Amino acid sequence: MIDNADSRRNSGPTPDAGQSASDNPTSVEESTPAGTSLEQRMAALEAEKADLDNYKNRVRKEMSEHETKASETILRDFLEVADNLERAIASWKEGGKNDVKSVRDGVELVLRLFKAKLERYSVTPIEAKGQLFDPRVHHAVSQASSTDATPGTVLHEVQKGYRAGERLLRPATVVVASAPPVPPADTSQPDHERSADGRPGWGCGHRHNRR
């Protein structure tokens, strides 16, 4: 017969009923910190996304304000040109419509001012007249024959072209020179009085020599 005391000694210590569930490596409480960390990371990502959106909105606003200020500066320069045109017209009316010289001088003054404003913004005219036609900066509207200009060069400038820095702002509208037409051959003389190359022959002279 087996002693109950020996059986109790060989079976080992009985687990404590009050042992904490936290000693179990697979307990639910150990997964809680991991869950909390994920939530924190998600919250941090949301905060970073909000900061990025705010930065984008701030940059857009600053760019819009910069463009508005640049446009206002350009418009103020054009207003100055308009003011001078109004002064020139007012001076013309006060001096009488026959005072053509004062009108011309006033318009030339405004034109010089306007060109100075364009140069301030790196807007420069494109050379056209007398230049070889370049489709990159010239827009041909017609051709005209000329004995003075080289065929393929710009004969007339209809509208001036401009560059803004290195970029083409507007091509120059031009008329391109072409070679003058070849005059037709003289066909008034009979064929027997013309040589093989089309020049007048000597048939008449030969007939006179027979006499």
pLDDT, averaged per 10 consecutive residues of the chain (211 residues), comes to 50 49 47 64 88 90 85 84 82 69 81 88 91 94 90 93 92 92 68 53 46 43
Q: Are residues 111 and 134 in the same domain?
A: no
Q: Are residues 109 and 48 in the same domain?
A: yes
Give the separation between CA 88 and CA 99, rounded to whole angstroms. Answer: 12
Give the separation between CA 127 and CA 116, rounded to whole angstroms. Answer: 18
Q: What is the pLDDT of residue 141?
A: 95
In a domain, 7, yes or no: no
Q: Are residues 117 and 141 in the same domain?
A: no
Q: What is the pLDDT of residue 109?
A: 86
Give the separation between CA 115 and CA 84, rounded to whole angstroms. Answer: 13
In a domain, 170, yes or no: yes
Q: Are residues 149 and 92 in the same domain?
A: no
Q: What is the pLDDT of residue 94?
A: 73
Q: What is the pTM (predicted TM-score) of this model?
A: 0.53
In a domain, 8, yes or no: no
In a domain, 29, yes or no: no
Q: What is the pLDDT of residue 157?
A: 93
Given 83, 104, 121, the domain boundary residue is: 121
Sign of the alpha-carbon dihedral angle for 62, 64, 65, 70: positive
The residue segments making up the domain with residue 82 are 42-121
Q: What is the pLDDT of residue 138?
A: 95
Q: What is the pLDDT of residue 184?
A: 74
Q: What is the CATH number of the domain that holds 141?
A: 2.30.22.10
Q: Are residues 92 and 138 in the same domain?
A: no
In a domain, 113, yes or no: yes
Q: What is the pLDDT of residue 200?
A: 53
Q: Are residues 170 and 136 in the same domain?
A: yes
In a domain, 82, yes or no: yes
Q: What is the pLDDT of residue 133?
A: 95
Q: What is the pLDDT of residue 170?
A: 93
Q: Are residues 108 and 153 in the same domain?
A: no
